Structure 1
Amino acid sequence: MAIETINPYTNKSVKKFDELSDAALENKIAQAEKAFGTWKTTPVKSRAELLHKVAALMLKKKEQLAGLITLEMGKLIAQSVGEIELSASIFEYYAKNAEKFLADKPLEVEEGSAFIRYSPIGIVLGVEPWNYPFYQIARIAAPNIAAGNVIVIKHASSVPQCAQAIQELFDEAGATAGIYTNLFISSKKVAGLAADTRIKGLSLTGSEEAGASLAEASGKNLKKSVLELGGSDPFIVLEDADLEKAVAMAVEGRMGNMGQACTAAKRIIVVEEIADTFLEKFKQQITGLKVGDPADKTTQVGPLSSEGAAQHLDEQVQKSIKEGATLVMGGKRIDREGAFYEPSILTDLKPGMTAYHEELFGPVASFYRVKNEEEAIKLANDSPFGLGGAVFSKNIDRAKKIADQIDTGMVYINEPTTSQPDLPFGGTKRSGYGRELSGLGIEEFVNKKLIRVSGK
């Protein structure tokens, strides 16, 4: 696979990078192992200082870095700036809270004393996607570097300039070589790294197929892994919801990042007594959005990440229509240069249809009418995925009870699934396992060592 920037706005190649040779890759891993030998005993305060510097540099260079995101995967520039700001906040969060999270945890015992000590384990390999090229890295790098681990990253081959820029941020912040390492390698090299005894943990954000492959490799080598995979998040709107707010949040939740988010509001589920009104308002809000250059701040509809992504989405939509789904609006490529696809709505979806079961990674909303909350819950859970979800109701107790019955790792009430440093992020079922962010995120790749002092 080529490691190459292809601007999805023009579908033209911008820059290519050479893959690391086997010898160069070996040198990178050896360097990381050497760095861990020192970093694991470095005081948490000193580790935190590095994270503070990385965060500060991110904010200082946010316009430049955001421009790379927009260039390489087509994100609207305002959203790219927002991603850089969120990423910086994650580094800041762990810089400020690492000491608290890693403090010894006393245990209540009948005699003597005991406590849990959190110790780093070594090199952690991250395999990361293109849709949030800085944020995804922050989620794994910040907590693990704070914990005393070192990180090696195989980033998506379509965002090499973002990958290089992150490496340069750590270098400029004064990180010892090996604490954070970008690897320009193909996916074929991941299995070999998983088998390398110097690699102690593996984390992947990506497709089910990629997740299954990494889980197999990590299991075969008896190594801990964390997976954040696909999603088909339900967005439930009850009859007592604030309708205007729910519609606005549905547009934001489905169309943000051009729908290319695992936690996008992919399945909009509305009780029948307000369904027609909701659908009409939703349709009005996504009709006539300005299509154009994602680097232009006035653009509202940019390209998908690649020509391949746009083609695949169109195939899913056309197949669903042939299977009996109703196209409310959109449903085709935009007739212009670039990887563009129309904001679209499908309804009358039934089990067996492509759009009912598969994740639609783009600006296509699946709309469902249900009789009541019981049907909404049943439909929400009728999915192989279990990442996030949302419930809209003015009755918070009612919404909490529904949230409790939804089989996902996260449920948000009266807002779409989002992300912030102090909230755990992760799913269940085929959406993966493990958690990132919050205090839980720093505990995934540490040895929770019991130390016991005898009372006899």
Structure 2
Amino acid sequence: MSEAIYTVTNPATGEVEETFPTATDDEVMAALERAYAARERWRKVPLEEKIAIIERVAAEYDSRQEELARIIGDEMGKPYGDATGEVWLSGDIHAYNAKHAPEVLADEELDLGERDGRAYMRKEPVGVIVGVMPWNYPYYQVARFAAPNLLLGNVILLKHAPQCPRSAKVIEEIYHAAGVPKDVYQNLYATNEQIAMLIDDPRVQGVSLTGSERAGSAVGERAGRNLKKAVLELGGSDPFIVLPDADIDKAVEDGILGRFENSGQACNAAKRFILIGDETYDKFVPKFAEAVAGLKMGDPHDESTNIGPLVTEAAAKGIQARIDDAVDAGAEVVVGGKRPDGPGAYVTPTVLAGVTPQMRAWSEEIFGPVAVMYKAADEDEAVRIANDTLFGLGASVHSSDVDAALRVADRLESGMVSINEAPGSSSELPFGGVKRSGFGRELGTYGFDEFCNKRMIRIAG
């Protein structure tokens, strides 16, 4: 048996609670064999039966909210309020996809003009697809990938993050209990090398990865070499732009939610706060810093906790190194800046100002509870700062004049923009980015389109 890399290490205590055996190459290939054999059977299951199954999955998430929230609190330190919210959203994603599947998967008639006959487009499954999921949203990330694809008729091999073996196991149990055949959704405690082996296999038709830029590059390169479809949702360094006429108190409230939800460990979190004009900067920064200082850091299972531990001690050290790098180069710590004493992978919520382009914090993603303040002279400079990054996932713009906010938003290089609200995610809104934030879209009804054969059928007149 190969070395166990799937381990529950409680980030609040640093204690190893449980390990899970890593799959062997033979086990991975046997899983693929079963999945490939199941693809035709699952494809032929009527849509109404698939819908009933996915509705039962949604009900399972709703009824087991407390249990499921506690699992990810122990695995990756998610604060209780964020954890229960994620479980709810995961159920809602399944319910939304089940509700809209009939209309989305209906044949689309094509206009033949003056020609006789008829033609239409039909969305059909491609077969076996691989999902590679991250640790920061263990349930949600799987839900938005798996729900539309199971309804479409695809068969899934799922590799979760090594930090999340318990939630990976319980997700599989939920699908199977709801009626998804065991060979149609399989959780694999696989290695990166085994995922590469699956992508190389002609029986696999595509791969979806949410994760780091490095992981996305590796998977995208492998998929391209094998002419496989890939969906990649990678990092972000999202701008939060405040215009001079914005409601500052509301912008601060949105900024706190947008930056510090999930202890700052979100791809689409507001990470760079770009404040237009001296007056805007002087009003926003003190109020924001005061709110940050009031955030409660502690036990993720305590309902009053705002900031839990980061996923690992290594992650916490990495974030602190980013802070120290900026401070050593001349940045100002407005609040926070130092890790607390005691056990656990905690990083004190921090606000940095005076960051310059020479510092890593200027444009790189800081995946933790750190907000960076920027002062821009006008809209042009704000847009230039916002776009001065290799990433392009999300953005938000705040102004009492919606037309002015849209004017700025139209100039941003991003896959998503929120106007006068915190960046976030919901079942009905498409999610995805541009540049090195990846490509492809999930959520809304767009998740049905990524791994389907859009077959054109023409009937002569």
Common fold by TM > 0.5: yes
Q: 1:180 aligns with which of 185, 188, 197?
A: 185
Q: Identify the residue that residue 146 of structure 1 maps to in structure 2.
A: 151
Aligned mates of 1:286, 1:2 — CA distance in 2: 36
| Mapping of residues 153-168 of structure 1, within 5 Å | 153-168=158-173
Q: Identify the residue that residue 18 of structure 1 maps to in structure 2.
A: 21
Q: 1:190 aligns with which of 190, 195, 198?
A: 195
- Matching of residue 124 in structure 1 with residue 113 in structure 2: no
Q: Identify the residue that residue 369 of structure 1 maps to in structure 2.
A: 375
1:350-385 deviation digits (Å, cap 9, x = unpaired): 212110121100000010011112211111111100
Aligned mates of 2:313, 2:452 — CA distance in 1: 40
Identity %: 45
1:29-57 deviation digits (Å, cap 9, x = unpaired): 11111221111121111111110011101
Q: Identify the residue that residue 306 of structure 2 maps to in structure 1.
A: 300
Q: Identify the residue that residue 106 of structure 1 maps to in structure 2.
A: 109
Aligned mates of 1:416, 1:386 — CA distance in 2: 17
- Matching of residue 326 in structure 1 with residue 329 in structure 2: no
Aligned mates of 1:43, 1:401 — CA distance in 2: 46
Aligned mates of 1:99, 1:342 — CA distance in 2: 47
> Helix, strand or coil for the counterpart of 1:117?
strand
Q: Identify the residue that residue 259 of structure 1 maps to in structure 2.
A: 264
Q: Which amino acid aligns with 2:300?
A: P
Q: Identify the residue that residue 241 of structure 2 maps to in structure 1.
A: 236
Q: Identify the residue that residue 287 of structure 1 maps to in structure 2.
A: 293
Q: 2:444 aligns with which of 438, 441, 449?
A: 438
Q: Identify the residue that residue 54 of structure 2 maps to in structure 1.
A: 51
> Helix, strand or coil for the counterpart of 1:298?
coil
Unmatched runs of 5 consecutive residues or more in structure 1: none
Q: Which amino acid aligns with 2:264?
A: G
Alpha-carbon distance, 1:289 to partner: 2.5
Aligned mates of 1:391, 1:416 — CA distance in 2: 9
> Helix, strand or coil for the counterpart of 2:186?
strand
The question of whether the paired residues in 2 share the 8 Å contact of 1:139 and 1:437 is answered with yes
> Helix, strand or coil for the counterpart of 1:313?
helix
Q: 1:3 aligns with which of 3, 6, 19?
A: 6
Q: Which amino acid aligns with 1:151?
A: I
> Helix, strand or coil for the counterpart of 1:234?
strand
Following superposition, which runs of at least 4 residues in structure 1 exceed 4 angstroms of deviation? none
Q: Identify the residue that residue 396 of structure 1 maps to in structure 2.
A: 402
The question of whether the paired residues in 2 share the 8 Å contact of 1:157 and 1:186 is answered with no
TM-score normalised per structure 1: 0.98
Aligned mates of 1:147, 1:242 — CA distance in 2: 44
Aligned mates of 2:362, 2:460 — CA distance in 1: 58
Q: 1:316 aligns with which of 315, 322, 340?
A: 322
Q: Identify the residue that residue 35 of structure 1 maps to in structure 2.
A: 38
Q: 2:456 aligns with which of 442, 450, 456?
A: 450
Aligned mates of 2:240, 2:363 — CA distance in 1: 16
**Cα RMSD between the aligned structures?**
1.0
1:401-450 deviation digits (Å, cap 9, x = unpaired): 21111110000000121111111000000000000011211100000111
Alpha-carbon distance, 1:174 to partner: 2.1
Aligned mates of 2:161, 2:406 — CA distance in 1: 37
The question of whether the paired residues in 2 share the 8 Å contact of 1:130 and 1:159 is answered with yes
After superposing the two structures, state which structure 1 stretch, 42-51 or 425-434, moved more: 42-51
TM-score normalised per structure 2: 0.97
- Matching of residue 423 in structure 1 with residue 429 in structure 2: yes
Aligned mates of 1:276, 1:245 — CA distance in 2: 16
Q: Identify the residue that residue 277 of structure 1 maps to in structure 2.
A: 283
Aligned mates of 1:346, 1:101 — CA distance in 2: 45
Aligned mates of 2:217, 2:56 — CA distance in 1: 36
| Mapping of residues 183-222 of structure 1, within 5 Å | 183-222=188-227
Aligned mates of 1:178, 1:332 — CA distance in 2: 48
1:184-224 deviation digits (Å, cap 9, x = unpaired): 11222111110011111100000000000000110011000
Alpha-carbon distance, 1:89 to partner: 0.3
> Helix, strand or coil for the counterpart of 1:251?
helix
The question of whether the paired residues in 1 share the 8 Å contact of 2:292 and 2:335 is answered with no
1:273-317 deviation digits (Å, cap 9, x = unpaired): 211110000001011432221101122221111101101111111
1:113-143 deviation digits (Å, cap 9, x = unpaired): 2211111000110000000000000010001
Q: Which amino acid aligns with 1:369?
A: K
After superposing the two structures, state which structure 1 stretch, 85-94 or 445-454, moved more: 445-454
Q: Which amino acid aligns with 2:26?
A: A
Q: Identify the residue that residue 389 of structure 2 maps to in structure 1.
A: 383
Q: Identify the residue that residue 86 of structure 2 maps to in structure 1.
A: 83
Aligned mates of 1:291, 1:450 — CA distance in 2: 55
Aligned mates of 1:282, 1:290 — CA distance in 2: 15
Q: Which amino acid aligns with 2:259?
A: R
Alpha-carbon distance, 1:394 to partner: 1.1
Alpha-carbon distance, 1:78 to partner: 1.2
Alpha-carbon distance, 1:387 to partner: 0.2
The question of whether the paired residues in 1 share the 8 Å contact of 2:131 and 2:157 is answered with yes
Q: Which amino acid aligns with 1:366?
A: V
Q: Which amino acid aligns with 2:187?
A: N
The question of whether the paired residues in 1 share the 8 Å contact of 2:205 and 2:228 is answered with yes
Unmatched runs of 5 consecutive residues or more in structure 2: none
Aligned mates of 2:296, 2:145 — CA distance in 1: 35
> Helix, strand or coil for the counterpart of 1:39?
helix
Aligned mates of 2:323, 2:410 — CA distance in 1: 32
The question of whether the paired residues in 1 share the 8 Å contact of 2:25 and 2:194 is answered with no
> Helix, strand or coil for the counterpart of 1:25?
helix
> Helix, strand or coil for the counterpart of 1:341?
coil
Q: Identify the residue that residue 335 of structure 1 maps to in structure 2.
A: 341
Aligned mates of 2:296, 2:425 — CA distance in 1: 27
1:158-179 deviation digits (Å, cap 9, x = unpaired): 0100000101101211221111
Q: 1:96 aligns with which of 96, 99, 107?
A: 99
